[in-house]
Amino acid sequence: MLNRRNPQLNQHGELIHLLSIEGLPRAVLTQILDTAGTFLSVNEREVKKVPLLRGKSVFNLFFENSTRTRTTFEIAAKRLSADVLNLDIARSSTAKGESLLDTISNLSAMHADMFVVRHGESGAPHLIAQHCAPHVHVVNAGDGRHAHPTQGLLDMYTIRHYKRDFSQLSVAVVGDIVHSRVARSDIHGLTILGVPDIRAVGPKTLVPGDLAQMGVRVCHDMAEGIRDADVIIMLRLQNERMSGAMLPSAGEFFKSYGLTPEKLALAKPDAIVMHPGPINRGVEIDSAVADGRQSVILPQVTFGIAVRMAVMSTIAGNQA
């Protein structure tokens, strides 16, 4: 039937919110990555500030706790000279029974210019973007299993930094893909940027066959999944999935799918190893790999600040 226009683009096709990577034109992605490149140097200067968001208020709304992601958004916003307010909503208003949209209305009345939203339910940032004032921008900082677009973009930035050209790459995403918003955003980003070979690797409980509908090759065998890969993205295994009906134990998962130096040897010699953090050593990744020469886990964090600066400055410059 009828689907409305992609809600994160204005009528000129410019990005006004960042809700998901899915459906964004390649040019929009490339432009954000290019902009992020220019911000990298800012982060290396003695005075790490540019005035692009001076006078603007950025509200970090974290309905789900995440100190790390919130911190990177806070740093990014401050380096753009914005005023940043952190609201730990997980422990305040919703606990008092206030509805999501009432919370948003109240905060809008405080003249917020941008909401950075993390929420446990897929689609919550879409709902907020639909209901906030037209001048307010929304950045999805992770919603349910749906999307974590800034993580996806920083992963794309990292891959481009080390591999330059997307069009010849084999990328393996390994672990709990069905519950992972990072995996979904990575898969969309890789697809849009033209990666021809994307593999989703893990047991059937975490990588069900329907994932092939996203345009990936589903592999239940680790060796097959990472053989000759240029990029290996390891996902974090959440504690609650380590024992129960999804997996019998963390140890058994490590045995089949944990990335060890021996398994890594199956990939291309110059393959890079990525992880969105925080890592579980000895669960999805061996310390020797996490700290090894092929690991780019820490550069990912550095690039993450620049990419978030690029996202915030881009959407703040576009009008609904």
Q: Footprint of another protein on this chain (CB under 8 A)?
A: 1-4, 6-7, 22, 99-101, 119, 121-124, 126-127, 131, 143-147, 181, 184, 210-211, 213-214
Question: Residue 254 Cβ, how far from another protein at the closest point, in Å?
Answer: 26
Phi, psi at residue 194, to the nearest 5°?
95, 20
Q: How many CB atoms lie within 10 A of CB 301?
A: 15
Closer Cβ to another protein, 186 or 230, answer by number: 186
Question: Residue 23 Cβ, how far from another protein at the closest point, in Å?
Answer: 9
Question: Residue 127 Cβ, how far from another protein at the closest point, in Å?
Answer: 6
Question: Residue 195 Cβ, how far from another protein at the closest point, in Å?
Answer: 18
Query: Which residue type is seen at 116?
Result: V
Closer Cβ to another protein, 2 or 110, answer by number: 2
Closer Cβ to another protein, 17 or 263, answer by number: 17
| Sheet of strand 170-174: strand arrangement | 217-219, 197-201, 170-174, 231-234, 272-274
Phi, psi at residue 120, to the nearest 5°?
-75, -15
- Rounded Cα–Cα distance for residues 270 and 228 (Å): 10
Question: Residue 147 Cβ, how far from another protein at the closest point, in Å?
Answer: 7
**Residue 148 · residue 125 · CB < 8 Å:** no
Give me 261's structure tokens: 């130096």
Residue that the structure tokens 């349910």 belong to: 144
DSSP 40: H
Tell me whether residue 270 is exposed, middle or buried, using C-beta atoms within 10 angstroms of its C-beta: 0 to 12, 13 to 18, 19 or more: exposed
Q: How many CB atoms lie within 10 A of CB 81?
A: 14
Give me 169's structure tokens: 């790459």
Question: Residue 142 Cβ, how far from another protein at the closest point, in Å?
Answer: 11
